[in-house]
Amino acid sequence: MLGAGLLPAAAPAVAATALTADAVNTARYDAAALGGLSPVVLRAQILLDRAGFSPGAIDGVVSDNLRRALVMAQRRHELDDHGELDEATFAALIETDDWPVLGDYEITRADTAGPFVPDIPSELEAMARLRRLAYTGPRERLAERFHIDARLLVLLNPGVSFDGPGTRIVVPRIARPAASAQKVARIAVEKQQRRVLAFDPDGRLVASYPASIGSGDKPTPSGLFTITKVARLPVWRYNPRFAFKEVKGGRAFNVAAGPNSPLGTVWIGLTAPSYGIHGTALPEEVGVADSHGCVRLTNWDVQALAAMVQKGATVEFIE
Torsion of CA 210, 304, 299, 174, to 10 degrees: 80
How many helices (H) and strands (E) the chain has is answered by 9, 13
Could you give the CA distance from residue 259 to residue 28 in angstroms, rounded to a whole number?
36
DSSP secondary structure string for all residues of 149-186: -HHHHHHHSTT--SSSTT-EEEEE--S-TT-------E
Specify the DSSP element, H or E, that contains 306: helix 299-306
Could you give the CA distance from residue 230 to residue 316 in angstroms, rounded to a whole number?
17
294 catalytic residue (yes or no): yes
**Active-site pick, 77, 147, 278, 292:** 278
**Active-site pick, 77, 147, 292, 294:** 294
Could you give the CA distance from residue 49 to residue 147 in angstroms, rounded to a whole number?
9
Could you give the CA distance from residue 62 to residue 84 in angstroms, rounded to a whole number?
9
Residues marked active site are found at 278, 294
